[in-house]
Amino acid sequence: MTTSIVGQGATPAPRRPGRPRADGASPTGRGTESDLLSAAARLFCTVGYTATSTRAIADAAGVRQASMYHWFGTKAAILQRLLLDSVEPSLESARLLLARPEEPAVRLWALARLDVELLCSGELNIGALYLLPEVAGDGFATFREHREQLRAAYGELVAGAVRPDAGHDDAAAVVLTFVESVILRRRDEPELDAAKAGQRYADLVLRLLGLDDDDVARAREAGSALADEARPPKPVGRQN
């Protein structure tokens, strides 16, 4: 892997000029920006991204359409923000875990657990937006870059967790693909328990790499506490 995860990511684009909320205070108390993101997330996940207009997002958030452009210049900018919110906490945890002294298998277990829990969190299955064909376009390069940085972190931990004589390039890709498969499972099981899924998937990640039951159990014991330490705080006022 050549992608570094040391950097802090791209500088957010400046907000376009526009009017602030013109329809009174935020009905949720979380603020206009959060209301817009929540409204867009619900519409993207239910109606569909292509079928959702900026006017529909503004109406659902209780603001005028012109007010929405004060926060987000385009519908694509809203989608990218939602995508980044779904990957950046895991990337932050990965940076913390890479700097820790514990065995790679322990840190990999912790990262997989946190990543699965994040993808299972919230009322809406935001991770399903990864599958939109639009995400392959130029407007979503920042999200793809951050996801590649997360993949590189998995690769570094996988390389340390497997036997020296075992190939790990494909294994790293398989691990991230397996972790993100919880997105599809969540479509069939909307009430999937995030905590239980996180632990189960983390166990299976190590088994995919050939670790035996005793090694997995040791990694789980040490990784559980480590995951709690590496869990980034939830942004105030943000929820699906």
**pLDDT averaged over every residue in the chain:** 86
Lowest mean pLDDT among 111-115, 142-146, 186-190, 202-206: 186-190
Torsions phi, psi for 235 (to 5 deg): -55, 135
Distance CA(216)–CA(98), nearest Å, equals 19
Three-class SS state of 156: helix
**Residue whose token pair is 């499972």:** 185
Distance CA(34)–CA(62), nearest Å, equals 12
Task: State the first-to-last Cα distance of the chain, in angstroms, to the nearest integer.
Answer: 33
Range from 9-23, 61-75, 196-210 that averages highest in pLDDT:
196-210
pLDDT band (50, 70, 90) for residue 227: very high
Cβ-contact 98, 157 below 8 angstroms? yes
pLDDT tens digits for range 45-57: 999 999 999 999 9
pLDDT of residue 10 exceeding 50, the answer is no
pLDDT band (50, 70, 90) for residue 172: confident
DSSP H or E stretch at residue 68: helix 65-68
Quote the pLDDT of residue 26: 57
Distance CA(86)–CA(66), nearest Å, equals 27
pLDDT tens digits for range 63-111: 999 889 999 999 999 999 999 999 999 999 999 999 999 999 999 999 9
Side chain identity at residue 217, one-letter code: A
Distance CA(155)–CA(159), nearest Å, equals 6
Q: How long is the chain?
A: 240
Cβ-contact 72, 36 below 8 angstroms? yes
Cβ-contact 28, 70 below 8 angstroms? no
Cβ-contact 82, 57 below 8 angstroms? no
pLDDT of residue 5 exceeding 90, the answer is no
C-alpha 119: how far from chain center? 6
Distance CA(231)–CA(93), nearest Å, equals 6
Lowest mean pLDDT among 13-22, 75-84, 124-133, 171-180: 13-22
Q: Give the chain's domains with CATH numbers.
A: 13-73 (1.10.10.60), 82-230 (1.10.357)
Choose between 111 and 240: higher pLDDT: 111
